[in-house]
Structure 1
Amino acid sequence: MRRADRLFQIIQVLRRTRKPLTADAIAAELETSKRTIYRDIATLIGQRVPIRGEAGMGYILEKGFDLPPLMLTPLMLTPDEIEAAVLGAQWVAGHADSTLARAAEDLMAKIADTVPERLRPFVLEPASRARPSWNREPDRLDMARTRTQIHEGKKVMLRYRDEQGRPSERMIWPISVGYLEAVRLLAAWCELRSDFRSFRTDRVVEATYLDEKYPERRDVLRAKWRQSLVWGPPKDT
């Protein structure tokens, strides 16, 4: 492995965890020596990469560190990372809403234009393929607007029909969109049920996007929702 690639990989390994990693652990993953890792970490610290720690105790990458833009560091993507990105983009292009699908296609084009010539076949002729979408139910609400509401922590009023066709109106606090094989699920806190619920986007009759923010902090609400999934998936009733 080239030294520049190894330096980038060390950053990637440290970025995956918030717990200190020893030089032994990093060396084992990158299949190199502990002495090499010590030398590389010293180089990174000298380049002002915010790595904290010491030999024997482990190292941690502090928050707030951003890598240079992809176009300035094309060699930092490994073949496996390119394959993973392209495979994920293929799935999104075939299963997500039109806005995300177009963004996925743009992403693959940007990667192809950015990486060196020797890595371009991993984008244009990947070894892995995602199955194209089939029998996908259409979304009945604006998915791009819905994602904006999620990011901004704002409420949505839904007119909805459940599996039996029963209508209802729900004031919800949207949390996340799940993209399944044939349908999308909007996970949210439902004021009517005072609980977390999931709503199939193809069963929405109408959505009104409100400027009112919901009172719960987004990260707290999301944590509570994840905890609720331990006991089973949210219901849409």
Structure 2
Amino acid sequence: MRRADRLFLLIHALRGRRSALTAQQLAQTLQASARTVYRDVADLQLSGVPIEGEAGVGYLLRKGADIPPLMFNEEELEALVVGTRFVRAFGGERLGRGATTALLKIEAVLPEALRERSRQTRIFAPQLDNRMESSGLIDALHSAIGQAQVLRLDYRDGSGEVTVREVEPLALMFWGGTWTLGAWCRLRRDCRSFRPDRIVAHALTGEVFADDPARNLDAYLRGVASR
């Protein structure tokens, strides 16, 4: 079991209980050793999770502590809310839906004071139907990146000339108003950045490309850093 999953289950096991759970009981639930439980509890306490108790006695969450798997202070929560709003506005429809449901799940287990704090955040990112992010293009590019699918692009350069490119899409970057698609361009035989707003048409070729150190994301990022 991953440590993050184990910490989640540990907090979940303690939530809402009126009596303490011993390290041995928690170890059985988590399928881990008591020594691991002691270490995880200590780490959570240092991180600010209000777990009370001690070895040999047992552990419980402090009364009134209704917390999600991770503790958020006010600044962290506000960053999360604002980030969600930006993802909904600029991240494409699929990530936007994911951001919305993720925030709903987090708010559902927040104490009322923090839940109200999240509603008072005054930084917004309005969603507009006439933006490129609403066209489905960012979703299509994101999907191609995730599935390592070669794309054929009709691409208009800065002078207005349209060329056909086959590219291996590697990453999307948002620069605060402008997106770029990082990719290996088979025509230029080099890493290139493409502006999605200049993509006239796009289609999957049906080919899946393999990771190649000479032209993968690390190679692209090295190229960007050297310019």
Which sections of structure 1, spanning at least 5 residues, go unmatched?
A: 1-7, 9-41, 50-71, 233-237
- Pairwise CA distance, 1:219: 11
Q: Which residue of 1 aligns with 2:37?
A: 46
Structure 1 residue 160, shift from structure 2 partner? 0.8
1:74 and 2:68 correspond: yes
Aligned-partner Cα distance in 1 for 2:76–2:34: 24
SS at match of 2:176: coil
1:144 aligns with 2:139: yes
Measured against aligned partners, the alpha-carbon deviations of 1:17-60 in whole angstroms (never above 9, x if no partner) come to: xxxxxxxxxxxxxxxxxxxxxxxxx98733585xxxxxxxxxxx
2:150 paired with 1:155:
yes
Q: Output aligned runs, 1:114-129, within 5 Å.
A: 114-126=109-121, 129=123
Matches within 5 A, 1:174-185: 174-185=169-180
Aligned CA RMSD, in angstroms, stands at: 3.2
Q: CA deviation at 1:123?
A: 1.9
Displacement of 1:76 = 2.5
Map of 1:21 onto structure 2: none
Percent of pairs identical after alignment?
Answer: 24
Label 1:182 to 1:191 Cα distance change in 2 as closer, same or farther (>3 A): same
Q: Which residue in 1 is equivalent to 2:159? A: 164
Within 5 Å, which residues of 2 pair with 1:58-73? none
Amino acid at match of 1:45: T
User: Following the alignment from structure 2 to structure 1, what is the Cα–Cα distance between the partners of residues 177 and 81?
Assistant: 21
Match of 1:193 in 2: 188
* 1:203 partner letter: R
Code of the residue aligned with 1:74 in structure 2: it is P
| Secondary structure of 2:160's aligned partner | coil
Give the distance between the partners of 2:212 and 2:132, measured in 1 at CA. 31
Indicate the residue corresponding to 1:211 in structure 2: 206
Specify every segment of 5 or more residues in structure 2 that has no aligned partner in the other structure, as ranges: 1-6, 8-32, 41-65
Where 2:216 maps in the other structure, the secondary structure is helix
Q: What CA distance in whole angstroms lies between the structure 1 residues aligned with 2:103 and 2:123?
A: 13
Cα pair distance change 1:220/1:196, threshold 3 Å: closer
Question: What is the one-letter code of the residue matched to 1:138?
Answer: M
Count how many residue pairs are aligned between Structure 1 and Structure 2: 169
1:152 maps to amino acid: Q
Bigger Rg over Cα: 2
Paired position in structure 1 for 2:26: none
* d(CA) in 1 for partners of 2:143, 2:218: 19
- Residue type matched to 2:143 in 1? T
CA contact (8 A) 1:137 1:182 kept: no
Report the secondary structure of 1:120's partner residue: helix
**1:219, 1:197 → 2: CA distance?**
13
Q: Does 1:225 align with 2:216?
A: no
Q: What SS does the aligned partner of 2:184 have? A: strand
**Which AA in structure 1 matches 2:123?**
R
